[in-house]
Amino acid sequence: TNNQIGFMVCAVGIGSTLSLNGAAALAVAHIIFKGLLFMTMGAIQLRLGTTRATELGGLHRTMPWTTLACLVGAASISALPLLAGYATKSMIMTAAQSAPGLFVVWLMLLFASAGVLEHSGIKIPFFAFFSHDSGKRPKEAPFTMLLAMGLSAALCVIIGLSPRWLYVLLPFRN
């Protein structure tokens, strides 16, 4: 969350219409993909009573849909192409790159993105679903939770594949 808010504050500081639109778009996307990540951890909490990384692992075997939802959320927050995070963060990155004298800011945003990839994009899904097998075999999340996760994951993909419908809702026209 701090990283995403940092991106938005930086965008406001740049002050161009592109960066301000990027901040607004990232705020919307952040709600969706961060909510998705919270929902996946909530499903684990419901089924196991914990989200402590040392007590998890191997959950992809019995919670495949929750695993997929977590991977979509993690990839989206990491701004992988064709997902919501990329469609929104790239606006801010482009604004920083095209503004005179902000090359260092652009580099800092780039390194901040790498940090999110390492923490949220790799560590969270790995330790929860793929690391050492904890031997726990919980049931998949309830249907209502899967439905909510599926809708959020679908929005991450839809925004990433076709961001124009989100862009037309932004405050400034380019």
What pLDDT, on a 0 to 100 scale, did the predictor assign at position 33? 96
**b/e per residue 108-141 (b: at least 16 CB within 10 A):** ebeebbeebbeebbeebbebbbbbeeeebebebb
Answer yes or no: are the C-beta atoms of 28 and 134 closer than 8 Å.
Answer: no
Alpha helices in 15-119 (DSSP H): 17-48, 64-77, 84-98, 103-116
The answer to whether the beta carbons of residues 57 and 134 sit under 8 Å apart is: yes
**Looking at residue 113, what is its pLDDT?**
82
Confidence at residue 174, expressed as pLDDT on a 0 to 100 scale: 62
Which pTM was predicted? 0.90
The reported pLDDT for the residue numbered 93 is 94
State the pLDDT at residue 55.
85
- pLDDT lower than 70: segments of the chain: 174
